């Protein structure tokens, strides 16, 4: 499954996107810095070896399959 990140006006700091999350007992609280895991292709709160995305604007529960992230450049 592909997830599209649309072009935005980065200077406005209002670009957010719903990104794939693990949904496997890995809740992510609102305001958490999140990263993109290239190995598992999901958003994660683990920084090690992952690319920074931004902060969550809405909490994701253990069963959610997406997490809303305010993207940063």
pLDDT at 24: 65
Residues 6+ apart with CB under 8 A from 72: 13, 52, 53, 54, 55
Cα 22 to Cα 16: distance, rounded to the nearest angstrom: 18
Give, for all 73 residues of the chain, the pLDDT tens digit: 344 445 554 444 456 666 767 656 678 899 999 998 888 888 888 899 999 989 988 888 888 888 888 888 6
The reported pTM is: 0.69
Question: Residue 56's CB: how many other CB atoms inside 10 A?
Answer: 23
């Amino acid at each position: 499954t592909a997830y599209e990140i649309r072009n935005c006006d980065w200077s406005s700091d209002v670009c957010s996107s719903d990104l794939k999350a693990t949904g496997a007992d890995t809740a992510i609280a609102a305001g958490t810095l999140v990263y993109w895991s290239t190995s598992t292709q999901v958003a994660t709160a683990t920084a090690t070896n992952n690319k920074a995305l931004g902060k969550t604007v809405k909490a994701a529960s253990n069963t959610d399959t997406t997490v809303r992230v305010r993207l940063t450049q």
